[in-house]
């Protein structure tokens, strides 16, 4: 929807509100016209229903407002003595239009200061709890689970994270009608959790920092057309940006960078990208053995914490799909292993972005990563890099006739980008679906920054061995930072015990004094 369409929609809502409540405003001692003035009418209504004025703000926050509306309907009825369960149910089921019936047919009496005597309203309390949780989930912190091994060693399958929305700036929801605190489908029911119409324009609050190279970032997968994860029916889905699947990768290229990959090593503007200490890039290896010396591979796999597949491909060769350089060196120094060779992919692969070059997952580039406000030349050579940006991400009409490139009907020799873009990759270089396959990640697809691991479960250990299943050393560890991760779980437990101990002591002292 355009801004004009949203404005018209907003005015229609104001008319609906006025027609359904003006008599109630008068019975509450207010003027009829106060029900008709946008925003002001909401402030007045908060006074009528004896609720804080700041609740007005919640009515204009996407997703949160969908939960607020039923609360306001119920509270309005209660302000005029309609407190029964039937009244509450009718308010919700009729989407608030039950208030029309009260407004025009019932001789109700306004109850000022209705909350002076506290009386629990279960529905309102429950809904307001959901509102608070939705605010936190949408604008501050969101839980996230690591589903794949693309960042293995830094983030493990089974890690449960908190993702900060405020580091890069919280993004307001673009999908106006959606179930709170779920993503693109409702759990158990498996049905779509949102309506594609209407859509709000993209807006992001100022962040505490900008995305830097080597940051681990959660973002909406730009190429997502998955109907539902693990759905094998072949169905496709055209999803709004904020309902595309969440991915987590490492940002290795920022706006304005020229990125190349040579034999699996990333270069930015001609210089090798230096990874942080916690980053453990992994590659595939072939291991040759002499066939005579006994080797306890089961022990080695456990010692090196190798989680990706490995298997014998020939009598004297074992293939490891993912090894760090430290693990490769450990194997190289193992008696019976004659050579350790990193596999470097040089085979041309049309799956590699932009799908027109003889590039591979280990050798590609240079690629210019678009920066907002910067201009690139458009021709048959450069267009494949930026075609999706022009059409899908920045919503232009693109037509190519022979050598002529037309954008929105006009011949175009160059193009100026409207937003920043990023290049995201997994540390598990040969087992990661990332920017090498689908290209740039637009700024409006950024979700947040993983900051904290609060739980970690080993997927290979059953729940019958719950103590062993929990990776205790990863509990309460930070995702970023220098040096190796340190668990703060024991400090948390000590603080918790101290808190309960202090409370217990205070209660005992109070009893003695009594």
Residue-level pLDDT at 232: 43
| pLDDT of residue 230 exceeding 50 | no
Q: Which of 120-134, 197-211, 492-506 has the lowest mean pLDDT?
A: 120-134
Residues involved in catalysis = 150, 249
Residue 333: asked if its preceding bond is cis (omega within 30°), the reply is no
For residue 32, the SS3 value is helix
H or E stretch covering 128: helix 122-139
Is the distance from CB of 213 to CB of 15 less than 8 angstroms?
A: no
* 279-298 pLDDT, tens digit each: 999 999 999 999 889 988 88
| pLDDT of residue 382 exceeding 70 | yes
Residue-level pLDDT at 237: 64
32 phi and psi, to 5 degrees?
-60, -45
For residue 358, the SS3 value is coil
Residue-level pLDDT at 330: 92
**What are the angstrom distances between the C-alpha of 179 and each of 17, 186, 191?**
23, 8, 11
| Domain segments of the chain as ranges | 3-119, 141-180+203-281+325-371+421-483, 282-324, 373-418
Residue-level pLDDT at 484: 80
* 28-55 pLDDT, tens digit each: 999 999 999 999 999 999 999 988 899 8
Cβ burial of 473 (10 Å; 0-12, 13-18, 19+) is: exposed
* 317-368 pLDDT, tens digit each: 999 999 999 999 999 999 999 999 999 999 999 999 999 999 999 999 899 9
| pLDDT of residue 121 exceeding 70 | no
Report the chain's mean pLDDT, rounded to a whole number: 88
Residue-level pLDDT at 236: 57
CATH number, span 141-180+203-281+325-371+421-483: 2.10.109.10
Concatenated DSSP letters of 249-268: EEEEE-TT-EEEEETTEEEE
For 74-94, give one letter per residue: b (16+ CB within 10 A) or e: bbbbbbbebeeeebbebbbee
Token duo for residue 257? 């960078």
Report the pLDDT averaged over residues 488-508: 89
Q: Which of 10-24, 299-313, 427-441 has the lowest mean pLDDT?
A: 299-313
Residue-level pLDDT at 235: 54
Cβ burial of 437 (10 Å; 0-12, 13-18, 19+) is: middle
Q: How far apart are the first and last CA of the chain?
A: 66
Edge to edge, the sheet with strand 317-323 lists: 310-314, 317-323, 283-289, 337-342
């Amino acid at each position: 929807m355009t801004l004009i369409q949203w404005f018209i929609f907003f005015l229609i809502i104001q008319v609906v509100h006025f027609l359904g409540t003006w008599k109630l405003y008068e019975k509450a001692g207010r003027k009829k016209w106060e029900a008709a003035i946008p925003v002001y009418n909401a402030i007045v209504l908060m006074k009528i229903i004896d609720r804080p004025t700041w609740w007005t703000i919640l009515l204009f926050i996407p997703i949160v407002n969908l939960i607020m509306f039923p609360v306001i309907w119920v509270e309005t009825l209660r302000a005029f003595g309609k407190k029964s369960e039937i009244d509450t149910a009718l308010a919700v089921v009729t989407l608030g239009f039950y208030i029309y019936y009260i407004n025009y047919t019932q001789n109700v009496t306004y109850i000022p200061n209705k909350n002076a005597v506290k009386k629990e309203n279960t529905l309102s309390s429950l809904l307001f709890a959901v509102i608070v949780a939705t605010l936190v989930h949408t604008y501050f912190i969101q839980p996230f689970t690591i589903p794949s091994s693309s960042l293995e060693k830094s983030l493990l399958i089974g890690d449960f994270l908190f993702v900060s929305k405020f580091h890069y700036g919280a993004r307001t929801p673009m999908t106006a009608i959606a179930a709170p605190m779920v993503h693109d489908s409702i759990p158990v029911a498996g049905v779509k959790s949102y309506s594609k119409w209407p859509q709000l324009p993209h807006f992001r609050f100022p962040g505490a920092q900008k995305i830097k190279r080597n940051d681990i970032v959660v973002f909406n997968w730009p190429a997502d057309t998955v109907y539902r994860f693990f759905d094998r029916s072949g169905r496709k889905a055209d999803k709004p940006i904020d309902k595309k699947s969440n991915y987590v990768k490492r940002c290795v290229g920022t706006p304005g960078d020229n990125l190349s990959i040579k034999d699996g090593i990333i270069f930015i503007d001609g210089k090798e990208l230096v990874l942080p200490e916690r980053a453990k890039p992994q590659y595939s290896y072939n291991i040759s053995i002499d066939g005579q010396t006994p080797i306890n591979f089961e022990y080695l796999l456990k010692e090196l914490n190798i989680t990706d597949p490995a298997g014998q491909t020939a009598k004297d060769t074992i293939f490891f799909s993912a090894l760090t350089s430290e693990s490769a060196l450990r194997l190289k120094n193992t008696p019976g292993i004659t050579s350790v060779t990193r596999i470097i992919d040089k085979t041309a692969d049309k799956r590699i972005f932009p799908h027109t070059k003889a590039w591979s997952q280990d050798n590609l580039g240079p690629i210019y990563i678009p920066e907002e406000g910067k201009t690139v030349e458009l021709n048959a050579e450069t267009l494949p890099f930026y075609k999706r940006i022009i059409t899908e991400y920045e919503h232009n009409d693109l037509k190519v006739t022979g050598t002529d490139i037309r954008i929105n009907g006009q011949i175009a020799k160059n193009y100026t980008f409207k937003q920043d873009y990023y290049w995201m990759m997994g540390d598990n270089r040969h087992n990661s679906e990332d920017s090498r396959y689908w290209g740039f990640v637009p700024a409006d697809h950024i979700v947040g920054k993983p900051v904290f691991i609060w739980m970690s479960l080993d997927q290979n250990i059953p729940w019958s061995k719950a103590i062993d299943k929990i990776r205790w050393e990863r509990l309460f560890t930070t995702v970023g930072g220098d040096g190796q991760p340190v668990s703060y779980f024991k400090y948390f437990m000590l603080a918790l015990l101290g808190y309960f101990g202090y409370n217990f002591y205070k209660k005992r002292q109070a009893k003695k004094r009594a």
